[in-house]
């Protein structure tokens, strides 16, 4: 059946859904790149949760989605911004998510890295910020997971300059039990992080980040870079010390950054690999054989969908990620923590469906079609 999908200009256009399902089987871990998918959480749709109340999570569905990612050989980046940290999921909920997911990772034999930040605080002194980081770092390490030191809104608001970042991160790295991943999230993802590393000048900020890493050899596994600037990321990774990875968080340029050039490549820690998981894993397995062209042929066509999901306001990309998980059958509903399902428009959803269906992302395209019809009907689009 042809669907009538709404466009941004208010018109309806016909779309013929595909019938061929995605047929990408689970596989072994990837070898040429370290690839982590930042996974979303599934809300409990039956919980009577008023705005501002602690989140209610459907733990069974949330953990099942992580098993799905592990089954395809991907690692999971847990309790990151894709999981609505600071946008529906508070620290208490994140701590429970970390503990549950880390236990599930041990059971499934999957790789996991978990975000440690300061979201107990809205503001505070440097000492309070250090203590908040320490509390979260302890939870991650006690759970047996690798830590990702997330960018801190409180630190961005309190720090007077680069020296405060050097002091706080130095304190944390000196006490970390295992090498951590540092996290540089640009203001397009979170406006409260403007001027991170002590400067709004990206060159100066890069210098401070590199100074942190150089001062603590062996304590930094890598840097997750989410600046949506491929040139800057490539320049940064060339300056990283030997053995320190660059994890791309660039949801606009990831194929070229992961493929790399004659001077290196990026690993990946990406929110868009939540909906792209099986296809992304298949592409990296092609890259594992040395076939860069084959890798690009598989992954390049996904960029249009990713750019659509991450269009400004970029921080609302999570809505599109969960929408696609619902269409794909990973969850039974399209409810989100904090009601964030309302953050995008019907034309945005329609285009996301069209692009994802065109890529063949759905193992059950008929289910995706039926769920898209339900959404259209709710918005008053008759068939």
Closest CA to 102 of 134, 135, 75: 75
Angle subtended at Cα 225 by Cα 176 and Cα 203, rounded to the nearest 5 degrees: 105
pLDDT at 20: 85
Q: For the chain, how far is it from start to end, CA to CA, in angstroms?
A: 10
Question: What backbone phi and psi angles, to 5 degrees, belong to 321?
Answer: -60, -45
Angle made by CA atoms 13, 352, 322, in degrees to the nearest 5: 140
Sign of CA dihedral 208, 214, 220, 222: positive
Euclidean distance between CA atoms 240 and 37, whole angstroms? 23
Q: Which residues contact 15 (CB under 8 A, 6 or more apart)?
A: 2, 3, 4, 5, 354
> What's the farthest any 2 CA atoms get from each other in the chain?
62
- pLDDT of 383 reads 61
**How far lies 166's CA from each of 210, 276, 298, 370, in Å?**
10, 36, 41, 53
Give 129's Cβ-side CA count (13 Å radius).
22
Distance CA 253, CA 30 (A): 20
Read off the pLDDT of residues 91-134 as tens digits, 9 standing for 90 and up: 999 999 999 999 999 999 999 999 999 999 988 999 999 999 99
What's the per-residue H, E or C state across the chain?
CCEEEECCCCCEEEECCCCCCCCCCCCCCCCCCCEEEECCCCECCCCCCCCCCCCCECHHHHHHHHHHHHHCCCEEEECCHHHCECCCECHHHHHHHHHHHHHHHHHHCCCEEEEECCCCCCCCCHHHHHHHHHHHHHHHHHCCCEEEECCCHHHHHHCCCHHHHHHHHHHHHHHCCCCEEEEEECCCCCHHHCCHHHCCCHHHHHHHHHHHHHCCCCCEEEEEEECCCHHHHHHHHHHCCCCCEEEECCCCCHHHHHHCECCECCEEEECCCCCCHHHHHHHHHHHHCCCHHHHHHHHHHHHHHHHHHCCCCHHHHHHHHHHHHHHCCCCCCCCCHHHHHHHCCHHHHHHHHHHHHHHCCCCCHHHHHHHHHHHHHHCCCCC
Sign of CA dihedral 29, 362, 100, 131: positive
Pairing of strands 146-149, 220-226: unpaired
168 with 133: CB under 8 angstroms? yes
The pLDDT of residue 22:
79
> Can you tell me which residue has the tokens 């921080």?
315
Residue 190 near residue 153, CB atoms below 8 Å: yes
pLDDT (tens place) for every residue of the chain, 383 residues total: 689 999 999 899 999 998 888 788 888 889 999 999 999 999 999 999 887 788 999 999 999 999 999 999 999 999 999 999 989 999 999 999 999 999 999 999 999 999 999 999 988 999 999 999 999 999 999 999 999 999 999 999 999 999 999 999 999 999 999 999 999 999 999 999 999 999 999 999 999 999 999 999 999 999 999 999 999 999 999 999 999 999 999 999 999 999 999 999 999 999 999 999 999 999 999 999 999 999 999 999 999 999 999 999 999 999 999 999 999 999 999 999 999 999 999 999 999 999 999 999 999 999 999 999 999 999 999 76
């Amino acid at each position: 059946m042809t669907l009538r999908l709404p466009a941004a200009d208010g018109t309806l256009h016909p779309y013929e859904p595909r019938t061929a399902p995605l047929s990408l089987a689970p596989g072994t871990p990837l070898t040429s790149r370290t690839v982590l998918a930042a996974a979303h959480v599934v809300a409990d749709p039956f919980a009577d949760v008023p705005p501002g109340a602690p989140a209610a999570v459907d733990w069974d569905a949330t953990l099942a989605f992580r098993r799905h990612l592990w089954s395809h050989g991907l690692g999971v980046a847990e309790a990151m911004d894709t999981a609505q940290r600071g946008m529906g999921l508070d620290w208490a909920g994140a701590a429970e998510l970390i503990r549950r997911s880390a236990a599930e990772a041990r059971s499934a034999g999957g790789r996991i890295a978990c975000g440690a930040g300061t979201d107990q605080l809205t503001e505070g002194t440097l000492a309070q910020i250090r203590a908040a980081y320490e509390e979260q770092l302890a939870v991650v390490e006690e759970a047996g997971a690798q830590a990702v030191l997330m960018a801190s809104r409180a630190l961005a608001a309190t720090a007077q300059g680069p020296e405060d970042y050097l002091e706080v991160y130095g304190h944390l790295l000196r006490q970390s039990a295992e090498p951590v991943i540092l996290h540089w999230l640009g203001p397009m993802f979170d406006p409260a992080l403007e001027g991170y590393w002590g400067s709004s000048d990206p060159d100066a900020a890069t210098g401070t980040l590199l100074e942190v890493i150089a001062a603590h050899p062996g304590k930094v596994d890598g840097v997750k870079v989410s600046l949506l600037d491929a040139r800057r990321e490539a320049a940064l990774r060339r300056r990283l010390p030997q053995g320190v990875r660059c994890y791309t968080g660039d949801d606009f340029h990831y194929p070229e950054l992961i493929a790399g050039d004659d001077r290196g490549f990026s690993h990946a820690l990406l929110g868009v690999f939540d909906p792209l998981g099986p296809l992304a894993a298949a592409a990296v397995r092609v890259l594992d054989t040395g076939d860069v062209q084959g890798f690009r042929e598989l992954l390049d066509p996904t960029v249009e969908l990713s750019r659509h999901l991450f269009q400004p306001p970029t921080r609302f990309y999570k809505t599109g990620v969960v929408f696609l998980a619902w269409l794909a059958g990973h969850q039974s509903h399209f409810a989100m923590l904090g009601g964030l399902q309302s953050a995008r428009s019907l034309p945005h959803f329609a285009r996301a469906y069209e692009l994802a269906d065109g890529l063949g992302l759905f193992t059950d395209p008929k289910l995706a079609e039926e769920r898209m019809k339900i959404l259209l009907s709710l918005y008053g689009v008759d068939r």
